[in-house]
Amino acid sequence: MSEPTLILRDVAIYKGWLDLGEQAALVTALRDVVARAPLFQPVTPTGRAMSVRMTSAGRYGWISDGQRYRYARHHPDGMAWPPIPEPVLAIWRALVSETRLPDCCLINHYTTEARMGLHQDRDEVDFSWPVLSVSLGDDALFRIGNLTRGGKTDSLWLASGDVVVMGGAARLVYHGIDRIRPGSSSLLRGGGRINLTCRVVM
Ligand code: MD3
Ligand code: FE
């Protein structure tokens, strides 16, 4: 297993883990997923549309049912989620596990205006496995806090090709995306950012 570039609050950060060719191949595979399972805007339990658009690949996908967030076997439009693309699984195998593969690859799409408020990822049943994140496209200002709301936070710019692994003590910390830096990458036509998070759900 390779050494992370840096470790911040138990979050392992691998800067530039993917080269440009690998990033482009990933984008091609993700376009195929999105063609079969379109991006949608989840509605928060308070009834507001999230600014980030999402879809999933894998056995389970993350949805909002209008009351709460949960993992579901089907897209809101009724289709099964497409399989997780092989190049995504290859990153998981290299950095997390060769035996246990993720149940869900959540795909987040950020336009320039999109953001994600501080939250915990706790809709999964099994927290013993890390969450693996892959950034593609424009830079994003990632903020990481604590196991409870409030307290000091650290911020870090994530760039295209960076991979982050949140395991152990980091698995349940509050985190979010404060803003996107428009025009910082030419990977995605039309700009914006894609973030993948691979999760063991059940
Ligand atoms: C730290 N996504 O999808 S990825 C999410 O960039 C989410 O789209 C952000 O937070 C994004 O839930 C951040 C980095 C990340 C993902 C999951 C974590 C950091 C995490 C889970 C626990 C702790
Ligand atoms: Fe999260």
Q: Is residue 97 part of a domain?
A: yes
Which residues does a 6 A CB cutoff place in the pocket of ligand 1? 106, 108, 116, 121, 131, 133, 140, 164, 166, 170-171, 173, 175, 177, 195, 197
pLDDT above 70 covers a percentage of the chain that reads 100
Q: From CA 83, how far away is CA 168, in angstroms rounded? A: 27
List the CATH number of the domain containing 110: 2.60.120.590
pLDDT averaged over every residue in the chain: 96
Atom of ligand 1 nearest to the CA of 140: 6
Q: Is residue 73 part of a domain?
A: no
CA 148 vs. chain centroid, Å, equals 21
Going edge to edge, which strands form the sheet with 131-137?
A: 6-8, 11-14, 163-166, 131-137, 193-199, 104-110, 53-58
Q: Which tokens go with 190?
A: 């039309």
Q: In the structure, what pLDDT confidence band is assigned to residue 1 with cuts at 50, 70 and 90? A: low
In which region does residue 155 sit, left (phi positive, over 0), alpha (psi from -120 to 50) or beta (all else)?
Answer: beta
Distance from the alpha carbon of residue 20 to the mean position of ligand 2, in angstroms = 25
The stretch 124-134 carries a mean pLDDT of 96
Residue with tokens 């999230």: 50
Q: Which tokens go with 112?
A: 């320039």
The stretch 71-88 carries a mean pLDDT of 98
Q: Is residue 67 part of a domain?
A: no
Distance from the alpha carbon of residue 167 to the mean position of ligand 1, in angstroms = 12
Hey, what's the torsion of the CAs at 177, 149, 119, 50, to 10 degrees?
-80
Residues 6 or more apart whose Cβ sits within 8 Å of residue 99: none
Q: In the structure, what pLDDT confidence band is assigned to residue 60 with cuts at 50, 70 and 90? A: very high
The stretch 158-162 carries a mean pLDDT of 98
The stretch 61-76 carries a mean pLDDT of 96
In degrees, to the nearest 5, what angle opens at C-alpha 109 toward C-alphas 107 and 115?
115
Q: In the structure, what pLDDT confidence band is assigned to residue 2 with cuts at 50, 70 and 90? A: confident
List, in sequence order, the alpha helices (H) in 65-117.
86-95
Q: In the structure, what pLDDT confidence band is assigned to residue 9 with cuts at 50, 70 and 90? A: confident
* Residues making up the binding site: 62, 69-71, 108-110, 119, 121, 123, 149, 175, 193-199
Number of domains in the chain: 1
Q: Is residue 78 part of a domain?
A: no
* Residues making up the binding site for 2-oxoglutarate: 108-110, 193-199
Domain of 30? 6-42+50-57+84-199
Q: Is residue 120 part of a domain?
A: yes
pLDDT digits (tens, 9 = 90+) for 12-29: 999 999 999 999 999 999
The stretch 25-45 carries a mean pLDDT of 97
The amino acid sitting at 202 is M
Q: What is the pLDDT of residue 10?
A: 87
pLDDT above 90 covers a percentage of the chain that reads 96
Residues 6 or more apart whose Cβ sits within 8 Å of residue 3: none
Q: Is residue 96 part of a domain?
A: yes
Q: From CA 176, how far away is CA 167, in angstroms rounded? A: 16
N- to C-terminal Cα separation, the chain? 25
Q: Is residue 1 part of a domain?
A: no
Q: Which tokens go with 29?
A: 């595979």
